[in-house]
Amino acid sequence: MSFSRASRLEGTDRGGIGPRSAFSRRGTLAVVCLATAMLMLDIAVVNTALAHIASSLDAGITGIQWVVDAYTVALAAVVLTSGSIADRLGRRRVFVSGLVLFTGASLLCGAAQSIEMLDAARAVQGIGGAILFATSLSLLADAFPEWKERSKALAVYGATIGASFAVGPAVGGAITSYLGWRWIFYVNIPVGIAAIAATYRFVRESRDPNARRIDWAGQTALVGGLFLLVLALLRGNGDGWGSPAIVAELAGAAALLAAFVGIELRVKEPMLPLGLFRIKEFTGAQIAAFSISASFFAIFLYMTLYLQQILGLSPIKAGLVYLPATVLIFLVSGASASLLQKVSAGAMIAVGLALVAVGLALGLLATATSSWAMLIPSLMVGGLGTGLFNPAVSAVALGSAPQEQSGLAAGVNDTFRQAGIAVGVALFGALIPGSAALGQGTAESFVDGLHTALIVGAVLAAIGAIASVKLISVRRMPATVEQLPARIEPVEAAA
């Protein structure tokens, strides 16, 4: 992320190439929102199609878990480096490359003839998504240098994210039911082409003359460590946790992640300055972001399998089950932005995570023979907590870091969110016999595993709430409110 560097150019054209007009500013906002809507819809619609993907490609549970995790691991691992590359090579140029990657990968996803091909294409999609996330705020900061105009633009950006995710499950269900799962990827192609053309029409080039160097050693260690960790968690049940392969993967993950920390401590310009974690509020925001992603958002894959494969709902009906909760998240997130002017962000984060923990516990009401309606209390309470949580944690993640590192702080928060989803999906996969939902076991065994995962998820969310209370100040910070619109993301990293 490079929002901070663009922010330092406020009120000037320094770093930008070409004139800035009101027409081009509005065009830039439209392009960024269009690309972001495509990203968010893609994240939200995939879960509702997973059961059909498994049937069509004759995939097992591990294969469809990687449909989610290949994307999130790639996004989490490269989003920070993407921002540095954009600062150095030009933000418009890199933004377009992200659009090309994401659109081309969408074509490959839709045309996939095997689950391996789909998983590989999803990883490329994740890299494209990371580039787009990393450059979007920089483009808006360059187009809207004055805070008053920028805050309005960022409010539109945040609303686009929230609205896209709110309708995503229903849209994904409808597309899967009436057109087939491949079209959840094919619809990205005309949108991506239109966004590329509009980028060249409206968005001017900008770059940072003092861009950070690219930390290739740290990047390599982080990618390898995350991949091996998720791989081991996904394969542990099948291969045996004491098997040489799983032990080697876990050891390799530990070694690479430790090497990443060592590299970041020694390299001159680290992709992740570890000194930021000396700030208690910043550390608390990352723990909180990881905990909600590894619990509430990671469980969506298995809840969707439960709705479709255990209860027999069609994709569109399963998508509609989520709709009340996603709309609630959108509405509460908007209201929470104003609430932050009166209530401590730390308190909102803690209360939000506590509600998520309660919501996950309410999921225990669902059984192998119950109605889908038994999940509504779980989703609504969790949605209420998420709506309170998201604006507050984004504000703390930005407001607790030095102003000149606000963009980096936003990128770190994205990394922890996406890593949380990837690890959570893998962790729950070790607890839930997902193959039971694909005809290789009983419905009762799947639900028993789902209940265990819900309990673990509730504990993770509760730990995040406790950490928030301990690390994040209960006093309201004026800077938090001022910076809030920069990252209103109701569920951006929702899977």
What would the pLDDT profile of 157-181 be if each residue is shown by its tens digit? Answer: 777 877 787 788 888 889 998 999 9
* The pLDDT value given to residue 190: 94
Q: Give the range with max mean pLDDT: 6-10, 255-259, 478-482.
A: 255-259
State how many domains the chain has: 2
What's the mean pLDDT in 438-444? 78
Alpha-carbon distance 468 to 345, whole Å? 10
Q: What residue has token string 């609630």?
A: 328
Query: Is the domain of 207 the same as that of 229?
Result: no
Give the closest residue to 461 by CA, choosing from 337, 299, 303.
299
Do 266 and 292 lie in one domain? The reply is: no
Neighbours of 1 (CB within 10 A): 30
Q: Among 255, 270, 285, give the residue marking a domain's end.
A: 270
Do 207 and 219 lie in a common domain?
Answer: no
Q: What pLDDT shows up at residue 406?
A: 63
Asked which of 34-48, 135-149, 180-194, 263-277 is least confident by mean pLDDT, the reply is 135-149
What's the rounded mean pLDDT across residues 358-383? 94
Residues 400-433 pLDDT 10s: 777 666 667 777 888 898 889 888 988 898 888 8
pLDDT at 3 over 70: no
Please tell me whether residues 262 and 165 are part of one structural domain.
no
Question: Is residue 330 domain-shared with residue 235, that is, in the same domain?
Answer: no
Same domain, 172 and 210: yes
Judgement on whether residues 159 and 260 belong to the same structural domain of the protein: no
Residues 41 and 149 in one domain: yes
- Residue 330 has what pLDDT? 84
Q: Which pLDDT band, with edges at 50, 70 and 90, does 443 fall under?
A: confident
3-class secondary-structure state, position 27:
helix
User: What domain range includes position 338?
Assistant: 3-214+271-487
The tens digit of pLDDT for each residue in 308-359 reads 989 999 989 988 999 899 889 888 887 876 787 788 888 899 999 999 999 9
In this model, does residue 491 exceed pLDDT 50? no
Contact present, 31 and 154 (Cβ < 8 Å): no
pLDDT at 210: 73
Residue 494 inside a domain? The answer is: no
Q: What is the pLDDT of residues 31-81, one digit of tens each?
A: 988 998 888 888 778 888 888 898 899 888 888 888 988 998 888 888 888
The average confidence (pLDDT) of the chain is: 84
Same domain, 60 and 186: yes
291 lies in a domain? yes
Read off the pLDDT of each residue in 207-226 and give the average, rounded to a whole number: 85
Q: Which residues of 459-493 are buried (b: 16+ CB within 10 A; e: fewer)?
A: ebbbbbbebbbebbbeeebeebbebbbbbbbbbbb
Choose between 99 and 16: higher pLDDT: 99
Same domain, yes or no: 261 and 294:
no
